Structure formats: structure tokens, C-alpha cells
Amino acid sequence: MRNPMGSDVTSDDRRRGTMEALMRQESFTPQELAALLDMPLSHITHEAFAGHLKADIVSHDIVAIHRSDILDWLAKREGRG
């Protein structure tokens, strides 16, 4: 794939663009958060269902995890919360 400047766009460039877009979101799916944090999806879902990571759960489905809750969870994991 070529960008408007004429250089080749690599898969790393596309991945970086996707991650930058994800970082600007206010809420995330478990899959998006796992990709953004480079963590197994099973870890994200376990933390949400265990109540360690606050999430919007409807009928046993995690529908959204809000940015502020992610930041709180990360701070607690690092011993700052």
C-alpha cells in the first residue's frame, strides 16, 4: 500500500495508527484493551469478572471498559492506587 507521499505503508505503520486511534477512545471492548496493553484477552476478562477492573457487564458480556477505570486499574496494579 502506498501513502500520499509515495512511500510504502508497512503493517507496523497501520498497527501504529490503529493503536493511536485506540488510545484516544473513552471506552474499550475487552479485545481492544487486550490489544492496546498487549495482554491476553483472558486476563482482561478475568480481571473484569473478578471485580478488579470495573467494566460494564450485561448478561455475562463485557460491553465496555471506560478509560478512567482502566487508568485506576493500572495504577492499582503498579501499587499507586
DSSP 24-65: T-SEE-HHHHHHHHT--HHHHHHHHHTTSS--EEETTEEEEE
- pLDDT, one tens digit per residue, over 8-37 is 656 555 555 666 776 788 999 999 999 989
| Number of other residues whose CB lies within 10 A of the CB of residue 48 | 20
Give 52-61 pLDDT, tens digit per residue.
999 999 999 9
Name the residue ranges covered by the structural domains of the chain: 27-77
Q: What is the pLDDT of residue 77?
A: 87
Cβ-contact 54, 66 below 8 angstroms? yes
pTM above 0.75, yes or no: no
Name residues whose C-beta falls within 8 Å of residue 47's C-beta, 6 or more positions apart in sequence: 53, 73
